[in-house]
Amino acid sequence: MPALLEHIDAIARNLQRDVLYLAFVRANPPTFQDYEGLESRKRILQWFDDQSVPWRECGPCASEATMRSYAGEVFIDVPFDEGDAQYRKVQAFLEYPDGTMRFDDVKFYVVPLEHAMKNSHHDEPGFWERWAENF
């Protein structure tokens, strides 16, 4: 069944804050396909559910030059704030103390609101419809 996913940059603009984001990639060869079979993704999402960490599927930052299918990306609805206990818990689960990832096929990103605002014109009514007509 088709799903309409929000891009991570649109989520940041809607929340008016920096947002956390996970991308999943197979190491050999690097590809964003077959995310549902990734054990790391299953384990992380189960841990989020077990720990009551809010999350939802999302798309990458929107691009007017690129279009691709969903690759398993996840928005983590926890503030990017080192003073926040839930953020520290998520960070400790995903990263070693030196900042390297515990999972080889996972990328943990913060999308700053300032970066997300570069695409604010995407929020104008009818933007994507006009874009699609010229695609």
Averaged pLDDT for residues 74-84:
97
Other beta carbons within 10 angstroms of residue 97's beta carbon come to: 7
Residue 14 clears pLDDT 70, i.e. is over it = yes
Q: HSE on the CB side for 71, CA within 13 Å?
A: 19
pLDDT at 40: 94
Position 131 scores a pLDDT of 85
Q: Give me the pLDDT at residue 32, please.
A: 52
Read off the pLDDT of residues 80-127 as tens digits, 9 standing for 90 and up.
999 999 999 999 999 999 999 999 999 999 999 999 999 998 888 988
Stated pTM of the model: 0.88
Q: What is the pLDDT of residues 16-64, one digit of tens each?
A: 999 999 998 865 554 555 787 889 999 999 999 999 999 999 999 988 8
Which pLDDT belongs to residue 33?
Answer: 59
What pLDDT is recorded for position 15? 98
